[in-house]
Structure 1
């Protein structure tokens, strides 16, 4: 991995240059994307319907909830921006 100053790195990045040679991707992280646990209480019928839909889509219940919550929050963000 090559070394350069932070200022030069920023300039290259801002100019759209390839900065791959200056980054150790094995140590890279994506903030706020680490999994966290939550507890959600729903009625039994809702859980059964959720499990059925997740199975139809080939997903786990958690994956389906993550997708649906993310979509809903993005829709809310878009609506608020209008």
Structure 2
């Protein structure tokens, strides 16, 4: 399909999912990079308590909290 046909379908609000190849899709700036952080035991225990309360992993909790703080800082 040419770009003009794609644009026409998009502007008409048509479903384009059959026209897209998601096998090569990627999210920009979403590559993972490993970071090691040492916390005191009481911090880890607090993280575990909050993670359990929310039903998520410690790692997920840390990611969410850090992402929230970074968004606030902008």
Which residue of the partner structure matches residue 2 of structure 2? Answer: 4
What is the CA distance between 1:72 and its match in structure 2? 0.4
Q: After TM superposition, what 4+ stretches of structure 1 lie above 6 angstroms from structure 2? A: none
Contact residue 51 and residue 61 of structure 1 kept, 8 A: yes
CA distance in 2, matches of 1:16, 1:51: 49
User: Where do 5+ consecutive residues of structure 1 fail to align?
Assistant: 78-82
Aligned: 1:29 with 2:26:
yes
Which residue of the partner structure matches residue 42 of structure 2? Answer: 45
TM-score, normalised by the number of residues in structure 1:
0.69
Aligned: 1:68 with 2:73:
no
Q: Choose between structure 1 and 2 for higher RCO, CA contacts under 8 A separated by at least 6 residues.
A: 1
CA-to-aligned-CA distance 1:21-80 (integer Å, 9 cap, x gap) = 542022211122132211111111111111111111111111000100111011111xxx
